[in-house]
């Protein structure tokens, strides 16, 4: 009977140990982690500020930054280094997976000129009748969108492809603006209706432009689209606020805010993740990413001791990297967020170590029990 008694106790203790250890591992899998993204400061071109507007799936980033003389210049950030594209008074707005960059240059709005930068060579996108031009996005096939201004002062969204420019028309009004193009050549932006009654977001596909319903107000702007045709942007509401939206091809869905009155969505990747910025109740502006339960402040997903305050998220690639603008130790800087392998909070480790500690205790007791039997 003593043999049976001694053999039973370690078995019961082992079951308790495994349960405790499992609890520790469960806590690790369920625990809210300290942060989800690392933050990279993209720097400047010698001046006091920078802003990022676009990135590709390789993590190359474009935007604009100040030089030492505080001239605004388009930049390319790649593999830890920021490069001046050498174009005076310029902004880079998009980059595709081949490294082609688009943007515009000009000292004033009245002389903006769209460009494509590729391998050190700059190609100008011609305007309509000698007016201005702006390039806002480029897809992986080299198609560019933006808007062109004629001598009559009216703007029109376009697609530029291999030297050919196609105007996209309007929703009945005099002007339209293209802001995003996916790999199928679908474009979104905004367009005036007849009589300037409203300017809703539009969806352009296969040669046809259609309006996107607003959230109850008179205007909307499509800022981003993915390869499934989903569109994001912002719209006025019946309460005259502005709210980020997702258009799924048949319905416009409001994305809410961070507790304040306004929000703005700028981009969506092929997984459906949406980024932009939104206001809190105290009107503080913060960058967000969409979550299953609403918008998530990206500042809650980085190291709180990083020195960063993320204001705007402008683009997200298909690997989940995000670029935008914020303050780093009080200075305006472009940022790159990259997903990281999350590290559990200290209390999670404590739970796991508790389980491991009990394993050690049980092993010691089992050894003592065996020695007793032998003795």
Please list the pLDDT of the chain residue by residue as tens digits (375 residues): 333 333 333 333 343 444 444 444 444 333 344 579 999 999 999 999 999 999 999 999 999 999 999 899 999 999 999 999 999 999 999 999 999 999 999 988 778 999 999 999 999 998 877 689 999 999 999 999 999 987 677 899 999 998 999 999 999 999 999 999 999 999 999 999 998 788 999 999 999 999 999 999 999 999 999 999 999 999 999 988 999 999 999 999 999 999 999 999 999 999 999 999 999 999 999 999 999 999 999 999 999 999 999 999 999 999 999 999 999 999 999 999 999 965 444 444 444 444 444 444 444 444 444 444 344
Mark out the alpha helices in the chain (DSSP H runs). 2-30, 346-374
Q: What is the pLDDT of residue 353?
A: 45
Q: What is the pLDDT of residue 342?
A: 52
- Look up residue 32 and give its DSSP letter: P
Widest CA span in the chain: 105
Q: What is the pLDDT of residue 151?
A: 67
Q: What is the pLDDT of residue 215?
A: 97
Q: Cα separation of 106 and 88, whole Å? A: 7
Sequence-ordered list of residues with C-beta below 8 angstroms from that of 330, at least 6 positions apart, any chain: none
Please give the order of strands across the beta sheet that includes 155-161: 133-138, 144-149, 155-161, 164-167
Q: What is the pLDDT of residue 197?
A: 80
Crossing angle (nearest 10°) for helices 2-30 and 346-374? 170
Q: What is the pLDDT of residue 374?
A: 43
What pTM did the predictor assign? Answer: 0.83
Q: Cα separation of 233 and 266, whole Å? A: 6
Number of alpha helices (DSSP H) and beta strands (DSSP E) in the chain: 2, 28
* Nearest CA among 142, 365, 180, 148 for reference residue 268: 180
Q: What is the pLDDT of residue 373?
A: 38
Residues 157/149, Cβ–Cβ less than 8 Å: no
* Nearest CA among 102, 88, 90, 91 for reference residue 56: 102
* Nearest CA among 127, 165, 122, 123 for reference residue 143: 165
- Tell me the Cα Rg of the chain: 27
Q: Tally the C-alpha atoms within 13 A of residue 242's C-alpha that lie toward its C-beta.
A: 14
Q: What is the pLDDT of residue 108?
A: 83
Burial of 353 (0-12, 13-18, 19+ CB in 10 A): exposed
Please give the order of strands across the beta sheet that includes 285-291: 263-268, 274-279, 285-291, 294-297
Nearest 5°: the CA angle 186, 129, 208 is 25
* Nearest CA among 73, 136, 129 for reference residue 106: 73
Torsion, CA 332, CA 336, CA 337, CA 339, rounded to 10: -170
Residues 184/205, Cβ–Cβ less than 8 Å: yes
């Amino acid at each position: 009977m003593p043999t049976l008694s001694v053999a039973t106790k370690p078995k019961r203790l082992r079951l308790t140990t495994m349960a405790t250890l499992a609890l520790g591992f469960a806590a690790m899998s369920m625990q809210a982690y300290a942060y989800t993204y690392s933050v990279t400061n993209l720097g400047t071109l010698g001046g006091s500020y920078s802003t990022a507007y676009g990135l590709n799936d390789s993590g190359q980033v474009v935007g604009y930054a100040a030089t030492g003389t505080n001239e605004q210049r388009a930049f390319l950030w790649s593999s830890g280094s920021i490069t001046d594209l050498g174009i005076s008074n310029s902004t880079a707005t998009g980059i595709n997976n081949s490294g082609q960059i688009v943007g515009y240059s000009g000292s004033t709005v009245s002389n903006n000129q769209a460009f494509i930068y590729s391998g050190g060579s700059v190609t100008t996108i011609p305007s309509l009748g000698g007016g201005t031009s702006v390039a806002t996005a480029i897809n992986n096939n080299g198609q560019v969108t933006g808007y062109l201004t004629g001598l009559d002062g009216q703007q029109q969204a376009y697609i530029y492809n291999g030297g050919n420019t196609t105007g996209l028309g309007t929703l009945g009004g005099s002007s339209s603006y293209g802001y995003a193009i996916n790999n199928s050549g679908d474009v979104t932006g905004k367009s005036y209706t007849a009589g300037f009654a409203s300017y809703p977001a539009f969806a352009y596909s296969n040669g046809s432009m259609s309006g996107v319903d607003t959230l109850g107000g008179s205007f909307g702007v499509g800022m981003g689209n993915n390869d499934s045709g989903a569109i994001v942007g912002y719209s006025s509401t019946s309460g005259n606020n502005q709210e980020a939206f997702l258009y799924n091809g048949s319905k416009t869905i409001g994305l809410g805010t961070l507790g304040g009155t306004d929000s703005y969505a700028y981009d969506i990747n092929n997984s459906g993740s949406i980024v932009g910025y939104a206001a809190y109740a105290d009107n503080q502006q913060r960058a967000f990413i969409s979550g299953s339960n609403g918008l998530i402040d990206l500042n809650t997903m980085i190291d709180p001791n990083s020195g960063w305050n993320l204001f705007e998220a402008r683009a997200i690639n298909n690997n989940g990297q995000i670029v935008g603008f914020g303050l780093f130790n009080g200075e305006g800087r472009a940022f790159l967020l990259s997903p990281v392998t999350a590290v559990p909070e200290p209390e999670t480790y404590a739970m796991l170590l508790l389980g491991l500690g009990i394993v050690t205790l049980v092993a010691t007791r089992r050894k003592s029990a065996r020695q007793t039997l032998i003795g």
